[in-house]
């Protein structure tokens, strides 16, 4: 077994272990399926009269088909998410990658990013903006699943539905969490295009 030290060239360091890469890509597929089918479900009973999603971007063709896709992807996302969060906590990856984090660090790194002065030389280190985004998307993922359960089974999970302020409010929470995830994906994909080696690292690990 090879040993990675501080003297090991950055290009040869394992940035993302196998479990991170596998859960990442499973999550990516499950989230895309959930978003597409969720848009189809939303169009059947919209929350906002001025917002609708083109059928070509929706998944399921009709409400019943969209629900089948949505529930199937939901279980994949939940199981995979539990594995990801558990391993992230047990291995200490979350502690190493996502902490420490302070408002001053976020402000400084956001300013550096906006002025194109933020370095991406060492992909093993997350800047404060990345730490904030990744922490936020994990929490958003938890909230969207819980709000989704309270919408799906408002009687069986009535305590959960009450926690969100009732069925109708849970729908709004679910929608805005979806919007936050879509926003995150846009930023995430944009950064992957700007820094293509980050995409390579998520495929091969180094």
Tens-digit pLDDT profile for residues 125-146: 888 999 999 999 999 999 999 9
pTM reported for the whole predicted model: 0.87
- Cβ-in-10-Å burial (0-12, 13-18, 19+) of 21 comes to middle
Q: Kindly state whether residue 109 falls inside one of the protein's structural domains.
A: yes
pLDDT at 82: 96
The domain that holds 178 is classified in CATH as: 1.20.950.20
The CA-based angle 138-139-143, given to 5 degrees, is 120
pLDDT digits (tens, 9 = 90+) for 17-32: 999 999 999 999 999 9
Q: Kindly state whether residue 141 falls inside one of the protein's structural domains.
A: yes
pLDDT at 12: 57
pLDDT at 5: 46
Give me the residues of the chain with pLDDT under 70, please.
1-12
Sign of CA dihedral 40, 144, 16, 189: positive
pLDDT at 4: 46
pLDDT at 137: 95
pLDDT at 77: 95
Instruction: Note down the domain range covering 159.
Output: 14-204
Q: Kindly state whether residue 41 falls inside one of the protein's structural domains.
A: yes
Q: Kindly state whether residue 9 falls inside one of the protein's structural domains.
A: no
């Amino acid at each position: 077994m090879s040993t990675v030290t501080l003297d090991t060239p950055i290009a040869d360091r394992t940035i993302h272990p196998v479990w991170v890469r596998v859960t990442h890509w499973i999550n990516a597929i499950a989230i895309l399926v959930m978003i597409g089918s969720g848009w189809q479900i939303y169009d059947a009973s919209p929350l906002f009269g001025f917002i609708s999603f083109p059928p070509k971007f929706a998944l399921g063709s009709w409400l019943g088909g969209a629900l089948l896709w949505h529930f199937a992807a939901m279980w994949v996302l939940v199981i995979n998410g539990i594995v990801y969060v558990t391993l992230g906590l047990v291995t200490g990856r979350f502690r190493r990658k996502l902490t420490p984090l302070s408002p001053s660090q976020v402000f400084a790194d956001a300013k550096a990013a906006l002025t194109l002065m933020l370095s991406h030389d060492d992909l093993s280190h997350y800047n404060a903006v990345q730490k904030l985004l990744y922490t936020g998307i994990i929490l958003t993922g938890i909230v969207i699943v819980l709000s989704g359960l309270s919408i799906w089974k408002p009687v069986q999970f009535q305590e959960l539905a009450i926690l969100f302020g009732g069925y109708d409010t849970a729908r709004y929470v679910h929608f805005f969490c979806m919007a936050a995830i879509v926003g995150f994906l846009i930023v995430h994909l944009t950064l992957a295009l700007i820094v293509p080696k980050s995409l390579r690292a998520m495929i091969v690990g180094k």
